Amino acid sequence: MTIHCNTPSFCSFELCGQKVSATPCLAYDRGVLWLEGIGCLRHGCDVLEGVTLGVSGGELVVVEGSQASGKSTLLEVAAAARLPERGAVWFAGRNTATLQRASLPFVRRNIGYYTADATLVGEDSALANVMSALAVRGEPLGAAEAGARDALALLRAQELADRQVASLSSGQRRLVALARALAGPPPLVVADEPAALLGDEARALVISALATARDAGAAVLAATADCAWANALVAAGGRRIHLAEGHIVGAPAVGLVPALTVTDGREEQPPRSLSLETDAGEPAVRTEGAKGPR
Amino acid sequence: MSLAWTARNVRRQVEAHPRIVLGTSAAFCLLALVAGGATLGARTVNRWGAFVGQNVHVIAYLADDVDQERALGLAEILGRAPTVARVTVVEPAQALARLGAMALSLASDARPLEGLEPAYFPRSLEISLAPAGDLTRHANDLAKRLRAVPGVAEVDAMTGGLARLAVWVKLGRVIGLAILVALGLVALLALVTVFLRTRGTVAERAAVLAQLGETPAAIRLPSSLWTAMAAFAGGGTGALVLSLAWRPVLAHLEDNLGIVSAHPSPLLASAEIVAGLAFMIAAGLAMGYFATPLPPTSDHA
């Protein structure tokens, strides 16, 4: 089965050799993040092509894919760390691709972005590093410190608060960087391989922390090449998206679609999961996961 | 970013890099010393020029038949020349008295002069030239014209002494300029060094803040503030040192050189100090601003 979802207003699905076209209803909500027909090049080669993906507030989406499938590039685009060559990035209802460059910082400050090689200020304490994300958003010092301590506690890294980042191990630094991305939490959390190179206990903590951010209303987009960890995220209520060779495959990338108008005239309104039926009345496509464990 | 957060960032950067902050202050202090020293040095050269101008450059010995009245008339005519600053008539008795005083100061013994009569000494005109770049040429020109004046028996242009003085003044200017240029280069080198060191230390922080969504202006503000404060502290120290030390050092130097000037020692005016400090603050702000490297705001990676 292949699914092409190129625009928010038109989707075509090929189900069991039968082509089904669907049009979302007019009340479609683009949510916190809406990536539309994203295409990206790296060294002249396509790494993403026609990717459309939406993440709403209070939703956890896990992008699973093998190495070089385009996950990191997709997350860079989602985090406004790079602009796509093609397509539009809607963040909180605004197309960031049309914003002036001077406006991009105001988008970025509302996105908690974590990568495995996230840069921290080595001469500052872990607490100051986490606080900086909140301070940039305009939080007063006291609130920023409290929020930073909460974020560190979420990952059980509160004992690192007063330690200089330069003295931390690489694993501890990753926890601090993740705490910085989750502090607040911001409207959108984008985490690229947040559990990589962490122990089992820390991986479980990361899942818990991402779910907590989701429960606090943040839109959470995480990427991993680890199938088992992706399963654990799905078990925690995440929606799984498969990415292969720069395309989304296997499931529609649109999660919280309140209504779909199928070309044959029938409508369905699934509450949290999307379910389409073939002409034979069999369920054909189901997005995995909804809020909370299934 | 709130004011409190900016202040906290400034404090943290100062605490994390005290050497760079001190180096920045020292560089700006040196810059203030060089700039202020150059200003005061130029004023001192003018002051010494005035002192040199007080000396006698040309002596015209008058013939025996020239009486005091005619000597005064000649002095008045000469005093109108633009290159002449002052003309003094020296009577024979004054000349003898001066010789006696000089003998006492040099040999502590004026007995060899006993028996000399003032009549042995001619009446003379002591001429001081107006300050000029080439006193030797002016003195020679004046001497040539004086020799043609009736009643003038002999003219001493004292060109040997003037030439030596001119050489010393020129040498002093070259040495002073060389010292200033060297100190200026040292100050410039120090500023470039602290600029590069500052750039190295704030690069990581700037990259992190840019990634977190801080605006370029807010990223640059803390480093601009602390470099401005360091520049103000350094410039203020330099101005204070010049204010306190210039006069004693100059007085010591002039004592050794035997320069006695009627003009007071030069000092920097309050307005000059305020203007200099304002420049230092602006330079510090600019240094911190440009020393903060910003990653590209957004691009196709």
pLDDT tens per residue, range B233-276: 999 999 999 999 998 988 888 888 777 766 777 888 999 999 99
The domain of B177 spans 3-51+165-291
CB contact B4 to A (< 8 Å): yes
SS3 B2: coil
Give the model confidence (pLDDT) of B13-59 as tens digits: 899 899 999 999 999 999 999 999 888 888 887 777 666 655 667 88
Interface predicted TM-score of the whole assembly (ipTM), two decimals = 0.73
Q: Which residue among A122, A123, A136 places its CB closest to the CB of B212?
A: A136
Question: Do B83 and B190 fall within a single domain?
Answer: no
SS3 A192: strand
User: Cβ(A56)–Cβ(A63) under 8 Å?
Assistant: no
SS3 B251: helix
User: Cβ(A156)–Cβ(A205) under 8 Å?
Assistant: yes
CB contact A76 to B (< 8 Å): yes
**Looking at chain B, which residue has its C-alpha nearest residue A186?**
B212
The CATH number of residue B136's host domain is 3.30.70.3040
Output the DSSP codes for A104-120: HHHHHTTEEEE-TT---
Question: Do B110 and B257 fall within a single domain?
Answer: no
CB contact A85 to B (< 8 Å): yes
Could you give the CA distance from residue B22 to residue B29 in angstroms, rounded to a whole number? 10
User: Cβ(B53)–Cβ(B260) under 8 Å?
Assistant: no
**Mutation site for B-interface testing, chosen from A109, A111, A192 by largest number of B Cβ within 10 Å:** A109
Put simply, the answer to whether B208 touches A104 (Cβ < 8 Å) is no
Query: Which residue intervals of chain B are DSSP H helices?
Result: 3-16, 18-54, 68-79, 92-107, 135-147, 159-212, 216-257, 270-291
CB contact A181 to B (< 8 Å): no
Could you give the CA distance from residue B135 to residue B155 in angstroms, rounded to a whole number? 16
In a domain, B41, yes or no: yes
User: A73 to chain B: which residues are within 8 Å by CB?
Assistant: 301
Output the DSSP codes for A236-249: TT-EEEEEETTEEE
Question: Do B147 and B104 fall within a single domain?
Answer: yes
- Cα maximum dimension of chain A: 64
Q: Which of residues B159 and B276 earns the better pLDDT score?
A: B276
Question: Do B270 and B181 fall within a single domain?
Answer: yes
**Looking at chain B, which residue has its C-alpha nearest residue A137?**
B1
Question: At which of B114, B130, B157 does a domain end?
Answer: B157
AA letter at B105 = S
**Minimum distance, in Å, between the CA of residue A250 and any CA atom of chain B:** 28
Strands (E), chain B: 58-62, 84-90, 124-129, 152-156
Could you give the CA distance from residue B87 to residue A79 in angstroms, rounded to a whole number? 88
Which residues, 6+ apart, have CB-to-CB distance to B255 below 8 Å? none
pLDDT in tens, chain A (294 residues): 334 443 343 344 444 454 444 433 333 345 789 998 898 988 888 889 889 988 999 999 999 998 888 999 999 999 988 889 999 898 888 888 788 888 888 889 999 999 988 889 999 999 999 999 999 999 999 999 999 999 999 999 999 999 999 999 988 999 999 999 999 899 999 999 998 888 888 889 999 999 999 999 999 999 999 999 999 999 999 999 999 888 888 755 554 443 333 333 333 333 333 222 333 333 333 333 333 332
In a domain, B92, yes or no: yes
DSSP B62: E
Segment B182-210 shows an average pLDDT of: 90
User: A137 to chain B: which residues are within 8 Å by CB?
Assistant: 213
Q: What's the domain count of chain B?
A: 2
Question: Do B172 and B37 fall within a single domain?
Answer: yes
In a domain, B64, yes or no: yes
Question: Do B78 and B122 fall within a single domain?
Answer: yes
Could you give the CA distance from residue A130 to residue A149 in angstroms, rounded to a whole number? 8
Residues B155, B156, B162, CA angle at the centre, nearest 5°?
A: 145
Question: Do B101 and B235 fall within a single domain?
Answer: no
Could you give the CA distance from residue B114 to residue B275 in angstroms, rounded to a whole number? 63
In a domain, B109, yes or no: yes
Cis peptide bond prior to A185, omega within 30° of 0 = yes
Among the listed residues B238, B266, B226, the one whose alpha carbon sits nearest the alpha carbon of residue B28: B238
Q: Which residue among A82, A101, A122 places its CB closest to the CB of B204?
A: A122
Whether B118 shows a pLDDT value over 60: the answer reads yes
CB contact B214 to A (< 8 Å): yes
Could you give the CA distance from residue B221 to residue B214 in angstroms, rounded to a whole number? 11
Question: At which of B117, B136, B157 does a domain end?
Answer: B157
Put simply, the answer to whether B2 touches A82 (Cβ < 8 Å) is no
CB contact A120 to B (< 8 Å): yes
Put simply, the answer to whether A141 touches B214 (Cβ < 8 Å) is no
How would you label A239-252 residue by residue, b for 16+ Cβ within 10 Å and e otherwise?
bbbbbeebbbbbbb
In a domain, B272, yes or no: yes
Q: Which two tokens stand for residue B204?
A: 């990581």
Q: Which residue among A83, A111, A113 places its CB closest to the CB of B299?
A: A83
Q: Which residue among B204, B212, B215 places its CB closest to the CB of A132?
A: B212
Question: Do B79 and B31 fall within a single domain?
Answer: no
Sign of the four-CA dihedral B197, B201, B204, B210: negative
In a domain, B89, yes or no: yes
Q: Which residue among B2, B201, B214 places its CB closest to the CB of A105?
A: B214
pTM for the structure as a whole: 0.69
CB contact A135 to B (< 8 Å): yes
The pLDDT value given to residue B98: 82
Q: Which of residues A279 and B71 earns the better pLDDT score?
A: B71
Question: Do B211 and B145 fall within a single domain?
Answer: no
* B-contacting residues in A 209-248 (Cβ below 8 Å): none
Among the listed residues A202, A125, A114, the one whose alpha carbon sits nearest the alpha carbon of residue A161: A125
Whether B284 shows a pLDDT value over 70: the answer reads yes
Question: At which of B157, B190, B209 does a domain end?
Answer: B157
In a domain, B230, yes or no: yes
Put simply, the answer to whether B4 touches A41 (Cβ < 8 Å) is no
Question: Do B255 and B211 fall within a single domain?
Answer: yes
| Beta-carbon count within 10 A of A90 CB | 18
Question: Do B47 and B172 fall within a single domain?
Answer: yes
User: Cβ(B29)–Cβ(B234) under 8 Å?
Assistant: yes
Question: Do B46 and B169 fall within a single domain?
Answer: yes
The pLDDT value given to residue B65: 87
In a domain, B301, yes or no: no
